[in-house]
Amino acid sequence: MLELQNINKYYNQGTVNEMCLFQNFHLTIKDQQFVSVVGSNGSGKTSLLNIICGSIPLDSGSILVGGADITNMPEFKRQRRIGRVYQNPAMGTCPNMTILENMALADTKGKPFNLLPGTNKQRISYYKEQLRFLGLGLEDKLHVKVGVLSGGQRQAMALLMSTMTPIEFLILDEHTAALDPKTAENIMELTDRIVKEKHLTTIMVTHNLRYAVEYGNRLLMMHQGNAIIDTEGDEKSSMDVEHILEKFNEISIECGN
């Protein structure tokens, strides 16, 4: 279980541009929940992910995982239990290393990075099998540098790499936004398959309302640092895109844009 308690986050504190993003924000995410998060730009979606991952500091509040306080744990240590896929496909892979080397890197997560061979030859068939699962033919290009792959191929690899070792949380930061509709659809299906197979607790930020409705078992709509819609289970299943869009328009009118 992931708990955010009394989260306060200000930007540009002490200047005329001071902006309060989160004020006494609470959120509890149960194990194996798949949460879709939608909301307009600047509503705090990505900040929420960054706070969970430790990429940005908190002003006050605490973050608990399974009851243990991780508020002061540095970002890289938290990543041990977290897999994260970014909007930019380039963020999840090393462009100047080959597909095989990237897979081997991801496979070493959680183990010591010592003087053992970087690529364990006995694992190659496993990597091939995992890549075949993507259905992109990457298993036959093991010695190709990742930099020459397309955005969709890289994002598929990033997803695979971030979930290769045992993790508890999968953080998806608009991970289909930079892809064409067809590729986005494939990545989304792949995501769902991996989440179900590995029983991951997932938080997915998206601008695609249809994905938010179709996938996952809980839906949050963020607005000015608050969750103005929070539904799960049957209530969420009965939601449709029109309903969410309506709510979206409502808050946009309030803001005057």
Partner 1 sequence: MSIILGVLEEGLVYAIMALGVYITYKILDFPDLSVDGTFPLGGAITVTLILAGMNPAATLFIAFAVGALAGCITGFIHVKLKVRDLLSGIIVMTALYSVNLRIAGKSNVPFFNNDSIFENSFMNRLLPGKLADISVVIILAVIVVIVKILLDQYLKTRSGYLLRAVGDNETLVTSLAKDKGMVKIIGLAIANGLAALAGSVYCQQKGFFEISMGTGTIVIGLANVIIGTKLFKRFGFVKSTTAVIIGSIIYKACVSFAIYLGMEASDLKLITSVLFLAILVISNGREKKVKQHA
Instruction: Please return the burial class of 231, using the count of CB atoms within 10 Å of its CB with bins 0-12, 13-18 and 19+.
Output: middle
CA dist list (Å): 153 to 83, 102, 244: 18, 13, 31
Q: Which is nearer to partner 1, 106 or 156 (CB)?
A: 106
Neighbouring CB atoms inside 10 A of 178's CB total: 17
User: Which tokens in the block code for residue 240?
Assistant: 């449709």
Minimum Å gap between C-beta 132 and partner 1 is 23
Phi-psi region of 61 (alpha: psi -120 to 50; beta: other; left: phi over 0): left
Minimum Å gap between C-beta 158 and partner 1 is 9
CA dist list (Å): 49 to 85, 217, 234: 11, 18, 25
User: Which tokens in the block code for residue 111?
Assistant: 């183990």
Q: Which is nearer to partner 1, 167 or 244 (CB)?
A: 167
Q: Which is nearer to partner 1, 105 or 228 (CB)?
A: 105
Q: Which is nearer to partner 1, 84 or 218 (CB)?
A: 84
The CA distance from 5 to 227, in Å, is 14
Q: Which is nearer to partner 1, 90 or 251 (CB)?
A: 90
Minimum Å gap between C-beta 119 and partner 1 is 8
Minimum Å gap between C-beta 248 and partner 1 is 31
Pick from 131, 129, 76: nearest CA to 98? 131
Minimum Å gap between C-beta 209 and partner 1 is 28
Binding site for partner 1 (CB under 8 A): 74-80, 83-84, 86, 90-97, 101, 104-106, 108-119, 162
Q: Which is nearer to partner 1, 135 or 166 (CB)?
A: 166
Minimum Å gap between C-beta 179 and partner 1 is 19
